[in-house]
Amino acid sequence: MPAAFKMNERPQTSLNITVALAGNPNAGKTTLFNFLTGLNQKVANYPGVTVERKAGTWRIGEVTARLIDLPGLYSLETTSLDESIARDVLTGDVEGIRRPDAIVAVVDATNLERNLYLVTQLFEFGIPVVVALTMIDVFEKQKHQIDVGKMSELLRAPVVEVNAKSGRGKSELVASVNKIVGSKPAIPFVAEAHGENGNSKIFARYNFISDVIQRSVKHNDREAHQLSEKIDRLLTHKFFGLLILVAVLLLIFQAIFSWATLPMDLLDKGFGSLGDAVRSQAPEGILTDLLVDGIIAGVGGVMVFLPQILLLFLFISILEDTGYLARAAFLLDKLMSRVGLHGKAFLPLMSSFACAIPGIMATRTIEDRRDRFATIMIAPFMSCSARLPVYTLMIGAFFTGQTVFGFISLGAVLMLAMYMLGIFAAIIVAFVLKRTILKARPAPFVMELPPYRLPNIRTIFQNMLTRAWLFVKRAGTVILAISIILWALMYFPHHVPSPDSQGPSQSPVEATDEQQTTNDKQLTGYESNQLKQSYAGKLGHVIEPVIRPLGFDWKIGVALIASFAAREVLVSTLSIIYNVGKDENEQSETLISAIRNAKKQDGSVVWTPLTAVTLMVFFVLAMQCMSTVAVVRREMNSWKWTLFMVGYMTTLAYAAALATYQGGKLLGY
């Protein structure tokens, strides 16, 4: 990722100065950043960490500034990752970013005291500061008055009122930045620490701020944000608040699982036809096979989930931007803290029901490292959408038409049971982790409940697209590599179908439909044979003794190995191995009957309903998703943790599957 940034680092004569944009979360920083830079912006990560690094170009009259959007901050002195990165930027210690020539401090006018606190810290870096007052329209509606000149005099820095919507203040901001660049920054006051800890410094800063506000702001007696408090009477109500939260979550799930179906099918077909087109155009041979069966099929298999991920990010962005997300964490913190997690962990976990990748990426909002790691560790237990094809196939093959109590479909009960099993495992593991290797005093829960605001459509879409693009880049590169490896495992050693096996040679033009079908069958037989003799097939035999106690034979072993790339690959691998052609889907009758009729060498059936349940249990718990592994590695920045996760999940899956199968056999199933 730094590579993309490097290109921008080349000395460009037009980029004369660097300006940092700093401010509290929810202060309107993103809106101002978008307003100043337009579409001229780039998002990447700071080297080695997962803090988003946003930069854009801002035209300031004759000069062009590189505007660095710092993460949202309350302070520059505590230990969170965001804060230390911001500090490094301001001291010029980040590779590839010049020490800023000026700081634009974004200050929410409706929340002056706390917002100015960060500004008092910014003064200490020796960089000239311009204060940009946002939310000024709301502030004025509340009939408060601010004496900008007076405030500027007291802070000894320019103060500009800005409004991104109306464009107010843009030219003043430009003029102020131009004026102060290169000037010697004035320091309005010095906070001296008394005693051992630095807390007296905090007190001194707030005293200074309180003085500034008393002398430059006329407050209306009416308390601000009454509207938010009224809304919260319902939204954080002890009973209705929870009810509404459940309804919101249901709506999001509904959207992810039903609205996304159509674009997902289209993408699936699209990648299918792309493969076909390449196959028909390119010359036969290993390169075409690699391109079609390895790269296009593998990358396509993940990109199919993009609509779900886009929708999920859309909802997250809306919830974030309106201020509801903080309320949800507030409502659920008590429940989450029972297993040692932070209220903010609920959203990443919920997202993981669609896909663990965006879920794990969403854990960044959790400040405490241990809380965050614990959340990442359990996120893959949430039954993601890639498990659905597996559940559907198993239920379709063995549990259709059966009911519980005469009216509830057994399939639905099983499906629900699998989701519950995942949640249950997550709770247990979080509980254990937080009491052992991630043990710590409970992390503080100190969270602002920002005032409700109408979402800014542009910010929302930008957020959604940025995150989706990061997903594509991250998952895409790893999936590409893994797809190629798995393809090679199944492709080599390669046996070219001998002409004899295809029956009497015939020119394709003369082939009748009937003969074409026979050819297809033989081709499928050939594919199945190829898989059996490939390295993957041999690996299946190697692991057979290990998986036999679970009731699995080597063919299921091959499918398990293949599904390590992505869970849904199980369906296509089983199709190939049972000779029904790889294009069958999870509802295919041919595949279902092939599974039902599969025999072991001694003539007994391979699959019983118990085997199906065992396989489902295994899929709930096992870490079978290379893209998740890759994302975990990136987010935790540690191979040790990543391997630990793969190891413990696989062990747990094996143990649970073993218990299911052997227990089931004892009970006579």
Partner 1 sequence: MCLDEEAFIMSKISTTMNLSNIPTGVQARVTAVKGEGFITRRLMEMGVVPGVLVRLVKSAPFGDPIEVRLLGYSLAIRKNEAEAIEVEL
Site residues for partner 1 per CB under 8 A = 74-75, 77-79, 110-114, 117, 196-199, 202-203, 206, 223-225, 228-229, 232, 236, 238-239, 241-242, 326, 329-331, 333-335, 337, 343, 442, 444-451
Quote the CA–CA distance of 447 and 468 in Å, as a whole number. 27
List all residues 6 or more positions away from 243 whose beta carbon is below 8 Å from its beta carbon: none
Question: Cβ 214 to partner 1, closest distance in Å?
Answer: 13
Question: Cβ 51 to partner 1, closest distance in Å?
Answer: 19
Question: Cβ 46 to partner 1, closest distance in Å?
Answer: 23
165: number of Cβ within 10 Å: 9
The separation between the first and the last C-alpha atoms of the chain, rounded to the nearest angstrom, is 53
Q: Which is nearer to partner 1, 59 or 114 (CB)?
A: 114
User: What are the tokens at 601?
Assistant: 């060498």
List all residues 6 or more positions away from 178 whose beta carbon is below 8 Å from its beta carbon: 60, 61, 63
- Eight-class DSSP state of 550: G
Do 42 and 56 contact (CB within 8 A), yes or no?
A: yes
Q: Which residue in 600, 571, 570 sits closest to 587, CA to CA? A: 571
Cα torsion for 611, 612, 616, 619, to the nearest 10°? 70
Q: Dihedral of CA 411/417/423/425: which sign?
A: negative
Quote the CA–CA distance of 380 and 352 in Å, as a whole number. 7
Place of tokens 């080349």: 10
What H or E segment, with its residue span, contains residue 524? helix 513-533
Q: Which is nearer to partner 1, 112 or 562 (CB)?
A: 112
Q: Which is nearer to partner 1, 245 or 536 (CB)?
A: 245
Question: Cβ 10 to partner 1, closest distance in Å?
Answer: 39
Q: Which is nearer to partner 1, 239 or 405 (CB)?
A: 239
DSSP labels for 350-411? HHTTT-HHHHHHGGGG--SHHHHHHHHHHGGGS--GGGHHHHHHHHHHHSTT-EETTTEEHH
- Eight-class DSSP state of 72: P
List all residues 6 or more positions away from 474 whose beta carbon is below 8 Å from its beta carbon: 357, 627, 630, 631, 634
Question: Cβ 192 to partner 1, closest distance in Å?
Answer: 16
Q: Which is nearer to partner 1, 232 or 553 (CB)?
A: 232
Q: Which is nearer to partner 1, 242 or 318 (CB)?
A: 242
SS3 label, residue 69:
strand
Question: Cβ 186 to partner 1, closest distance in Å?
Answer: 24
What H or E segment, with its residue span, contains residue 463? helix 457-491
Q: Which is nearer to partner 1, 226 or 651 (CB)?
A: 226
Question: Cβ 370 to partner 1, closest distance in Å?
Answer: 13
Q: Which residue in 12, 43, 129, 637 sits closest to 372, CA to CA? A: 637
Question: Cβ 329 to partner 1, closest distance in Å?
Answer: 8
Q: Which is nearer to partner 1, 113 or 276 (CB)?
A: 113
Quote the CA–CA distance of 626 and 357 in Å, as a whole number. 10
Respond yes or no on whether the N-terminal peptide bond of residue 499 is cis (omega within 30° of 0): no
Question: Cβ 564 to partner 1, closest distance in Å?
Answer: 40
Q: Which is nearer to partner 1, 125 or 305 (CB)?
A: 125
Question: Cβ 26 to partner 1, closest distance in Å?
Answer: 9
Question: Cβ 245 to partner 1, closest distance in Å?
Answer: 9
Q: Which is nearer to partner 1, 110 or 308 (CB)?
A: 110
Q: Which residues pair with 64 in a beta bridge?
A: 15, 59
Q: Which is nearer to partner 1, 202 or 417 (CB)?
A: 202
- Eight-class DSSP state of 1: -
